A and B are shown apart, each in its own frame.
Chain A
Amino acid sequence: MLTYIGKRIVLAVVTLWVIVTLTFILMHSIPGNPFAQEGTMPEAVYNNLQSYYNLDKPLHVQYGLYLLSILQFDFGPSYKSSTLTVNDLIVNGFPVSLHLGTQALLIAIPLGLLFGIIAALYRNRWPDYSSMILAIVGISVPNFILATFLINYLAVELRWFPVATWKSWSHTVLPSLSLAMMPMAFIARLMRSSMLEVMSQDYILTAKAKGLKKGTIILKHAIRNAILPVVTIVGILIANIVTGSFIIEKIFGIPGMGEMFVTSIFNRDYPVILGSTIFYSAILILLILIVDIAYTWIDPRIKITGESK
């Protein structure tokens, strides 16, 4: 197992290097300039900025300098702020996004699984229809609509919760709900179809024939097998959600890191583009590794160390 993890880590570093290189090439090949404004600035000012941020050096030198600095875990300055570096942006923003994301996942994963299982067990009866209607609404209503809706009714009209900002626990309720809806619906639908498939398998029939209790069949045989596809996507889902949602964080004024991914590209803020890409990739790679290891626990038939023979 340890050699396997070791191998995967080496592979991860190579993957990250490829991602850095591709992102570096891509971001320098899109038109635009980090310091362009409506109307040009005097040439001297422009030159000063270019040399301050080493942008006047040839691209391969910039690339080399960048690789050197990320080896020391320094992601560089943000062109749009002389106050916060990219490291600051990640260190300040990630815990907030992680907190919000965790709360959202705590709602989304258990409820999604529950709705999916109920829907599958009561196929074509009202529990199925009602949870699937909820799931379809969850998938088709974009979260910014849901967020605006929640703010308008629960915050502005009823004043149960504050509208926005990130101060106390009550400030986190509406954004968590808005963020949880889509993954919950997604998991519910996936779990339902996966459960339905498993329930029609021969071994479930065998279990029934053996006279096992319904609860035992569902818990020990059905769910355990049906959950595998869900686990696969949950890894990617977690990576997406804990690194922040641009829209939810913008609407609720949450100082997370979701905004970095989008505004940095509009601003051509190169170090922020690279920093956020690397950070996201690293989290994603880590979660995929965890998911792969988790398979072996859930399904003993899957072996990760065996194939090399």
Chain B
Amino acid sequence: MKRKLSVGLVLLLFIFLALSGCFSGETKNEPEKPTAPSEEGKENEQEASGPKILRLNNNEEPGSLHPGTAQGTHDSWILEHAFEGLTKKTPEGEIIPGIAESWDTSEDGLTWTFKLRGDAKWSNGDPVTAHDFEYAWKYALNPETASTYAYQLYYLEGGEAYNSAEAGADLEALEAAVGVKAVDDTTLEVKLAQPTPYFVDLTSFYTYYPINKAVQEADPNWYQEADSYVSNGAFKLTEWKHKESMKLAKNENYYDRDKINLDEVHFVIIDDENTSWQMYQSDELDLVYPLPQDVIGQLKAENNPEFQIGSDLAVYYYNLNTEKKPFNNVKIRKALSMAVDRETIVEHVAQGGQLPAYSIVPPGIPDVSGDYQENTGKLFEANIEEAKKLLEEGLAEEGLDKFPAVTLTYNTSEGHKMIAEAVQEMWRKNLGVEITLENVEFQVKLDREKAGDYEISRAGWVGDYVDPMTFMDLWVTDGPYNDANWSNAEYDKLVNLAKTTMVQEDRMKAMHDAEKILMDEMPVIPIYFYTKPFTVKPHVTGIYTPINSYPQFIFADIKN
């Protein structure tokens, strides 16, 4: 009896498993020929006559598609195409009117008045008004929103005070004191805490996008699903399968809709760079960024016409803890920097088309005339003889007979490891300096940098806005980002001057001078400027890469 029961049970289990397999197969499986691998083939056929669809990979599930709480590229790539701020940028990087058609600045640089175009509409048909901007900015600054990027709005008068309000403070009064006010539906008056010449650049950044006040008040979770999503840009969100895929469609309510050629943009959400590249190879994706390291080297070597390198607003560097021996000595810091062969690292180790860095501010930022980084030029040279001499002098000054044991700390990553090993070898060979390498988890590295518990650490910085200041104010005395714990009164003075003057010539000169001091003192060793290597299929045109964001497809088109 019992034996029969057990056989029956096993049978039942198998039937159940088999059925569950079939069942889920059937629900997900559209009628399809056994050999036809994909719907993608069908999509390609459709492109010939039907809608123009661009297929991309967003790499990760967006954490938040709300302009006020968004942070990072997985959010912003979607937002930049679904929303539009007061201003926007041309493919050449020039700032042009967006929702604002014009703007004025008061003489002291503190009051900015934006005149909005009257015909801008939300994707649900509502008009875009100045009130939506005022509401959105105050929403992001509200301490209860807990927005990570709220500090992007600290430029506004009273912005920081509102965001820093303690529990029990009078939030309403603080909110009213924030320097943004809709005078009427099409006039937005902004008061700044201090003159900020690059404020107009900031207004194209996503934390400064408007949100539809009526929608937000009716449904605070409007941004979590495609059905309730309302935006004011060239595209609207039509489908969002969480952690799986997203679809954007042309926004018929967009004021400039005639310039938009694409009908739809389909995103997959795939974290693995190799998979993403393989999907590109099998024609399931039209553009891939970022690419796997080895693929970049290979594409570059074969001069692949689909391979492009966009510039990037970021620098890769090593922090030297200037509070620890021997890095308190400027000669030793300089010696280490001069003994690094950056060309070799870029060409043979990093292999991503990066640019060797002999200063801190990356190329692509406009100066008074020309490019800021080009005008800077090389602020030091790699020179092994000179480095040896400096090291000897430095060690003598510190009363050391030999270089003490130090450790280079980097966050676990194959790429960081290879670069660290190359640098370790260069210092050993060129200077006879032995260092130890240590990889730690990213969070642990951050903790230790904050605590000053390191000697050399890898770091990278991505600029928040297109102005040298986004890099220069990192190393002011006791600045929150100054992990090298370096301090220089002259540097502080110059940065402060550049922050407060509205005269563009004086600002830029002050920052050039400050950068010279920084590279003379070398609390950080710049290694390279990042780039954005990507591939795009030849049938896709009109993609461009602004310096501080992912490849933009707003004007993209698909040829047949």
Taking Cβ atoms with an 8 Å cutoff, the residues of A that contact B are: 31-33, 35-45, 47-49, 51-53, 80-84, 88, 92-93, 99, 102-103, 105-106, 110, 148, 151-152, 155-156, 159-170, 172, 250-253, 255, 259, 266, 268, 294, 297-298, 300
Contact = CB atoms under 8 A, between A and B. Distances in A.
Nearest to B17: A106
B443 A251 contact: no
Interface string B9-35: 100001001101100111011101001
A268 B443 CA distance: 8
A44 B143 contact: yes
A230 B282 CA distance: 40
B434 to A, nearest CB: 27
Contacts of B268: 164-165, 253
A99 B24 contact: yes
B17 A155 contact: no
B160 interface: yes
Contact of B32 (A163, A168, A253, A298): A168
A155 B37 CA distance: 8
B368 interface: no
B243 A92 contact: yes
A83 B39 CA distance: 29
A168 B17 contact: no
Given A48-B146, A81-B63, A166-B244, 13 more contacts: A38-B459, A39-B474, A40-B480, A49-B148, A52-B144, A99-B24, A102-B17, A162-B37, A162-B282, A253-B244, A253-B271, A255-B242, A266-B441
B278 A164 contact: yes
Contact of B450 (A40, A47, A92): A40
A32 B444 contact: yes
B329 to A, nearest CB: 26
B28 A167 contact: yes
A102 B13 CA distance: 12
A100 B78 CA distance: 29
A81 B243 CA distance: 11
A294 B26 CA distance: 31
B112 interface: no
A40 B37 CA distance: 47
A32 B242 contact: no
B65 interface: yes
A255 B150 CA distance: 30
**Which 7 pairs, one residue from A and one from B, show the smallest C-beta to C-beta distance?**
A32-B443, A253-B270, A44-B164, A52-B146, A255-B243, A169-B29, A39-B481
B446 interface: yes
18 contacts: A40-B450, A43-B164, A45-B151, A47-B164, A53-B146, A83-B63, A92-B242, A102-B21, A103-B21, A155-B278, A156-B281, A156-B282, A160-B35, A164-B279, A168-B32, A250-B271, A252-B275, A255-B269
B254 to A, nearest CB: 24
B460 interface: yes
A58 B442 CA distance: 26
Contacts of A88: 242
Given A38-B459, A252-B275, A298 B6 contact: yes
B274 interface: yes
Contacts of A31: 443-444, 447
Interface string B515-530: 0000000000000000
Interface in B122-146: 143-146
Given A48-B163, A83-B62, A169-B25, A163 B279 contact: yes
Contacts of B6: 297-298
Given A102-B20, A155-B278, A44 B2 contact: no
Contact of B38 (A43, A47, A162, A300): A162
Contact of B160 (A41, A44, A49, A170): A44
Nearest to A36: B446
A84 B20 contact: no
Contacts of B201: none
Given A83-B64, A155-B278, A250-B271, A162 B284 contact: yes
Contacts of B269: 253, 255
Count chain A CB atoms within 10 A of each CB in B163, B443, B459, B461 and give the residue with the most: B443
A44 to B, nearest CB: 3
B346 to A, nearest CB: 21
Contact of A40 (B39, B65, B461, B481): B481
A250 B224 CA distance: 23
A223 to B, nearest CB: 11
Nearest to B57: A253
Interface string B253-267: 000000000000000
A150 to B, nearest CB: 11
B469 to A, nearest CB: 14
B275 A251 contact: yes
Contact of B163 (A40, A45, A80): A45
B328 interface: no
Contacts of B18: 106
Contacts of A165: 244-245, 268, 270, 279, 284
B104 interface: no
Contacts of B343: none
B40 A162 contact: yes
B424 interface: no
B459 A297 contact: no
A164 B148 contact: no
Nearest to A84: B242
A148 B274 contact: yes
B173 interface: no
B443 A168 contact: no
A194 to B, nearest CB: 17
Interface in B439-477: 441-444, 446-447, 450, 459-461, 474
A167 B37 CA distance: 11
B354 to A, nearest CB: 18
A253 B271 CA distance: 7
Contacts of A103: 21
A297 B5 contact: yes
Contacts of B61: 81, 84
A225 to B, nearest CB: 13
A180 to B, nearest CB: 12
Given A106-B18, A159-B282, A300 B2 contact: yes
Question: Which one of A44, A103, A105, A148 has the highest number of Cβ atoms from chain B below 10 Å of its Cβ?
Answer: A44
**Listed residue (A110, A160, A163) with the most chain B CB atoms within 10 angstroms of its CB:** A163
B147 interface: yes
Given A49-B146, A92-B243, A167-B39, A250 B278 contact: no
B544 interface: no
Given A152-B278, A155-B282, A253-B271, A170 B443 contact: no
Contacts of B279: 163-165
A29 B53 CA distance: 49
A201 to B, nearest CB: 19
Contacts of A44: 143, 150-151, 160, 163-164
Nearest to A151: B278
A33 B5 contact: no
Contacts of B29: 168-170
Contact of B37 (A43, A152, A160): A160
Contacts of B145: 48
Contacts of A294: 9
A172 to B, nearest CB: 8
B241 interface: yes
